[in-house]
Protein backbone atom coordinates (compact mmCIF):
# COMPACT_ATOMS: atom_id res chain seq x y z
CA UNK A 1 0.00 0.00 0.00
CA UNK A 2 1.42 3.33 -1.08
CA UNK A 3 2.07 5.75 1.76
CA UNK A 4 0.77 9.23 1.01
CA UNK A 5 2.06 10.97 4.15
CA UNK A 6 4.74 10.47 6.80
CA UNK A 7 5.60 12.51 9.85
CA UNK A 8 7.88 12.08 12.84
CA UNK A 9 6.11 12.30 16.20
CA UNK A 10 8.07 13.51 19.21
CA UNK A 11 7.47 11.49 22.36
CA UNK A 12 6.60 13.21 25.63
CA UNK A 13 7.43 12.06 29.11
CA UNK A 14 3.70 11.91 29.83
CA UNK A 15 3.30 9.26 27.11
CA UNK A 16 5.02 6.77 29.42
CA UNK A 17 3.10 4.64 31.84
CA UNK A 18 3.96 2.81 35.00
CA UNK A 19 5.93 0.17 33.09
CA UNK A 20 8.22 2.68 31.38
CA UNK A 21 6.63 1.95 28.00
CA UNK A 22 4.68 4.36 25.85
CA UNK A 23 1.12 3.76 26.97
CA UNK A 24 -1.22 1.94 24.57
CA UNK A 25 -3.69 4.84 24.65
CA UNK A 26 -1.05 7.32 23.46
CA UNK A 27 -0.74 5.46 20.13
CA UNK A 28 -4.20 6.72 19.17
CA UNK A 29 -3.07 10.25 19.96
CA UNK A 30 -0.15 9.73 17.56
CA UNK A 31 -2.56 8.60 14.82
CA UNK A 32 -4.68 11.68 15.42
CA UNK A 33 -1.73 14.06 15.35
CA UNK A 34 -0.41 12.56 12.10
CA UNK A 35 -3.86 12.60 10.53
CA UNK A 36 -4.55 16.22 11.47
CA UNK A 37 -1.16 17.25 10.09
CA UNK A 38 -1.89 15.41 6.84
CA UNK A 39 -5.30 16.99 6.47
CA UNK A 40 -3.98 20.41 7.39
CA UNK A 41 -1.73 20.29 4.37
CA UNK A 42 -4.19 18.80 1.89
CA UNK A 43 -7.68 19.88 2.84
CA UNK A 44 -7.84 23.33 4.33
CA UNK A 45 -10.74 23.85 1.93
CA UNK A 46 -12.84 21.23 3.73
CA UNK A 47 -12.71 22.83 7.13
CA UNK A 48 -13.47 26.17 5.50
CA UNK A 49 -16.77 24.57 4.37
CA UNK A 50 -17.52 23.37 7.93
CA UNK A 51 -16.95 19.75 6.98
CA UNK A 52 -15.48 17.77 9.85
CA UNK A 53 -13.67 14.46 9.57
CA UNK A 54 -14.86 12.20 12.37
CA UNK A 55 -13.53 8.84 13.50
CA UNK A 56 -16.19 6.13 13.16
CA UNK A 57 -13.86 3.28 14.09
CA UNK A 58 -10.28 2.94 15.29
CA UNK A 59 -8.09 -0.12 15.78
CA UNK A 60 -4.46 -0.78 16.59
CA UNK A 61 -2.27 -3.89 16.69
CA UNK A 62 0.68 -3.47 19.02
CA UNK A 63 3.90 -5.19 17.91
CA UNK A 64 6.85 -3.81 19.88
CA UNK A 65 7.02 -1.51 22.89
CA UNK A 66 8.05 2.10 22.27
CA UNK A 67 10.50 3.45 24.85
CA UNK A 68 11.33 7.05 25.72
CA UNK A 69 14.06 8.27 23.41
CA UNK A 70 12.94 6.02 20.55
CA UNK A 71 12.39 7.61 17.16
CA UNK A 72 8.76 7.43 16.05
CA UNK A 73 7.40 7.99 12.55
CA UNK A 74 3.76 7.60 11.50
CA UNK A 75 3.17 6.77 7.83
CA UNK A 76 -0.34 6.86 6.36
CA UNK A 77 -1.88 5.08 3.38
CA UNK A 78 -5.46 5.03 2.04
CA UNK A 79 -6.62 1.44 1.47
CA UNK A 80 -10.30 2.23 0.78
CA UNK A 81 -12.47 5.17 -0.19
CA UNK A 82 -16.16 4.28 -0.18
CA UNK A 83 -19.22 6.40 -0.80
CA UNK A 84 -19.94 7.25 2.82
CA UNK A 85 -16.63 6.57 4.54
CA UNK A 86 -12.95 5.90 3.93
CA UNK A 87 -10.13 4.11 5.71
CA UNK A 88 -6.69 5.29 6.70
CA UNK A 89 -3.93 2.81 7.51
CA UNK A 90 -1.08 3.83 9.78
CA UNK A 91 2.31 2.28 10.19
CA UNK A 92 4.07 3.29 13.40
CA UNK A 93 7.78 2.66 12.94
CA UNK A 94 11.23 4.03 13.73
CA UNK A 95 12.05 5.14 10.20
CA UNK A 96 14.66 2.43 9.76
CA UNK A 97 12.58 -0.74 9.51
CA UNK A 98 11.41 -1.39 13.08
CA UNK A 99 7.61 -1.72 13.24
CA UNK A 100 5.96 -0.65 16.51
CA UNK A 101 2.30 -1.00 15.50
CA UNK A 102 -0.25 -1.13 12.69
CA UNK A 103 -3.46 0.82 12.96
CA UNK A 104 -6.54 1.78 10.98
CA UNK A 105 -9.24 4.40 11.33
CA UNK A 106 -12.50 4.58 9.43
CA UNK A 107 -13.42 8.19 8.81
CA UNK A 108 -16.75 9.81 7.98
CA UNK A 109 -17.37 13.33 6.74
CA UNK A 110 -19.79 15.42 8.76
CA UNK A 111 -21.45 18.60 7.58
CA UNK A 112 -21.49 20.73 10.71
CA UNK A 113 -24.00 23.19 9.22
CA UNK A 114 -26.64 20.62 8.28
CA UNK A 115 -25.54 18.31 11.13
CA UNK A 116 -25.44 15.18 9.01
CA UNK A 117 -22.87 12.88 7.46
CA UNK A 118 -22.21 13.46 3.78
CA UNK A 119 -20.66 11.55 0.90
CA UNK A 120 -16.87 11.51 0.83
CA UNK A 121 -15.95 14.67 -1.11
CA UNK A 122 -13.86 14.65 -4.27
CA UNK A 123 -10.77 16.23 -2.69
CA UNK A 124 -10.50 13.19 -0.46
CA UNK A 125 -11.13 10.80 -3.36
CA UNK A 126 -8.20 12.48 -5.09
CA UNK A 127 -5.88 11.34 -2.29
CA UNK A 128 -5.42 7.91 -3.83
CA UNK A 129 -4.40 9.32 -7.18
CA UNK A 130 -2.36 12.31 -6.09
CA UNK A 131 -0.03 11.33 -3.27
CA UNK A 132 1.93 14.16 -1.67
Binding site for a copy of itself (CB under 8 A): 9-10, 12-14, 16-20, 23-25, 28-29, 32-33, 36, 40, 52, 54-62, 68-69, 112
Task: Report the nearest approach of a copy of itself to the CB of residue 129 (Å).
Answer: 26
Task: Report the nearest approach of a copy of itself to the CB of residue 125 (Å).
Answer: 23
Angle at 66 between CA 64 and CA 71, to 5 degrees: 115
Smallest CA-to-CA distance from 28 within 9, 52, 49, 4 is with: 9
Task: Report the nearest approach of a copy of itself to the CB of residue 106 (Å).
Answer: 9
Distance CA 34, CA 119 (A): 23
Residue whose CB is less far from a copy of itself, 101 or 124: 101
Residue whose CB is less far from a copy of itself, 107 or 120: 107
Residue whose CB is less far from a copy of itself, 13 or 132: 13
Question: Could you give phi then psi for residue 91, rounded to 5 degrees?
Answer: -110, 120
Which SS3 state, helix, strand or coil, does residue 132 take?
Answer: coil
Task: Report the nearest approach of a copy of itself to the CB of residue 113 (Å).
Answer: 14
Residue whose CB is less far from a copy of itself, 13 or 122: 13
Within 10 angstroms of residue 9's Cβ, the number of other Cβ atoms is: 20
Smallest CA-to-CA distance from 46 within 110, 105, 104, 89 is with: 110
Amino acid sequence: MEQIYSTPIELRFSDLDLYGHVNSVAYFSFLETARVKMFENLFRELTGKNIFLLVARAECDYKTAILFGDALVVSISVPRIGTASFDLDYLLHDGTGKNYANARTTMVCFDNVNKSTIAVPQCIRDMQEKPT
